[in-house]
Amino acid sequence: MEEIKLISLSSSKELTEKIRRQLGSKARILDTTVHHFADGEILVELNESVRNSNVYIIQSTSNPVNENLMEVLICVDALKRSSAKEITLITPYFGYARQDRRAKPRQPISSKLVADLLQCAGVDRVVTVDIHANQITGFFNIPVDNMSGLPILANYFKALNIPDLTVVSPDHGGAVRARKLANALDAPLAVIDKRRPKPNVAEVTGILGDVEGRNCIMVDDMIDTGGTIAAGAKALKEKGAKDIYIACTHAVFSGPACERLQNSVAEKVVVTDTIELPEAKKFEKLEIVSMDELLAATIESIEFGMPVTDVFTKFDFKE
Ligand code: R5P
């Protein structure tokens, strides 16, 4: 049997190693070297043959977004020129996903640009997790599997067995996502009515649904500066919610996020490891659950030609 060949670039090293462990003797991380030169240029060297092989690059395009993206593009170019058969990019966090439309005149659609760059370099298939807007998958003319962190978050909360539970979306845009988690936890849904008077400022104007006397899990795809989620948690408390838990797939955690979350009224902040956090960004209320098993199962499905939707069944989760 052919081994599954993984490539670990700079941003997802721990997750790649965990995925390899999940895949056991079926997989190996290829010997590659990533150089960052003094002038800012990057070189990715493949230290072994990839001729006629399927290769899986694992790299989130998180901060530093442009460096991590460039590493991917250069690695793909090296693979292409070395006659790899099929190149799959596993990008647990897809950077630039929030620039998916022209919200104002003369704005770019940067996620489309990123899709074009990846395809032009030679990526044959993309796997990502909870991409900010599902329609971004349509920016590609190659297969894109948008997996989800919700099964992992749902299992974490199932184990806590929280009574009188309501799942809350911190804004209208996240209602479908929150509904999926609510279904998995057999809980009702509430939605926060949020406004953004200016970028990175979140204002709560109301709450749709019943949260008084309820324990609440507020779920989002990502926490960036923490403004949305901290304002939401405060509004829930003011409406009489009991314990509040915060959950998200992507811990972007920029600027004041960690401080805001630690000082928020929430009991716990549960995130996945699609973005690797340095020790300095870990705080007492933070819990990290791993995407390793789900992504390993996804890679196996692709490698052996099985439906990736079966991965969700394995995790007892309805998409
Ligand atoms: C917005 O649509 C996203 O789903 C997140 O709610 C948002 O990006 C979080 O940003 P911040 O943490 O800075 O409020």
CA of 47 from ligand 1 middle (Å) equals 40
What values do phi and psi take at 41, rounded to 5? -75, 160
Residue type, 121: A
> What is the predicted pLDDT for the residue at 49?
97
292 lines ligand 1 (CB under 6 A): no
Measured from the CA of 200, which atom of ligand 1 is nearest?
13
Residue 80 designated active-site:
no
Q: Which of 220, 225, 223, 176 is nearest to 200 (CA)?
A: 225
What values do phi and psi take at 253, rounded to 5? 45, 65
Residue linked to tokens 């960690």: 258
CA of 105 from ligand 1 middle (Å) equals 22
Measured from the CA of 257, which atom of ligand 1 is nearest?
12
> What is the predicted pLDDT for the residue at 60?
98
Count other Cβ atoms within 10 Å, centred on residue 194: 21
> What is the predicted pLDDT for the residue at 283?
98
Q: Which of 288, 284, 286, 260 is nearest to 274 (CA)?
A: 288
232 lines ligand 1 (CB under 6 A): no
CA of 184 from ligand 1 middle (Å) equals 23
**Rounded to an integer, what distance in angstroms lies between the CA atom of residue 61 and that of residue 118?**
12
231 lines ligand 1 (CB under 6 A): no
**Rounded to an integer, what distance in angstroms lies between the CA atom of residue 123 and that of residue 61?**
15
Q: Which helix (H) or strand (E) holds 178?
A: helix 175-185
Mean pLDDT of the chain: 96
Measured from the CA of 225, which atom of ligand 1 is nearest?
13
130 lines ligand 1 (CB under 6 A): no
Residue 251: HSE in the Cβ half-sphere, 13 Å Cα cutoff:
24
> What is the predicted pLDDT for the residue at 318?
80
First-to-last CA distance in the chain?
A: 32
Residue 136 carries which DSSP code? G
**Rounded to an integer, what distance in angstroms lies between the CA atom of residue 294 and that of residue 13?**
17
- Regions of the chain where pLDDT drops below 70: 1
CA of 172 from ligand 1 middle (Å) equals 12
**Rounded to an integer, what distance in angstroms lies between the CA atom of residue 208 and that of residue 194?**
11
Among candidate residues 5, 18, 180, 194, the one labeled active-site is 194
Antiparallel, parallel or unpaired: β 189-195 and 165-169: parallel
**Rounded to an integer, what distance in angstroms lies between the CA atom of residue 235 and that of residue 203?**
10
261 lines ligand 1 (CB under 6 A): no
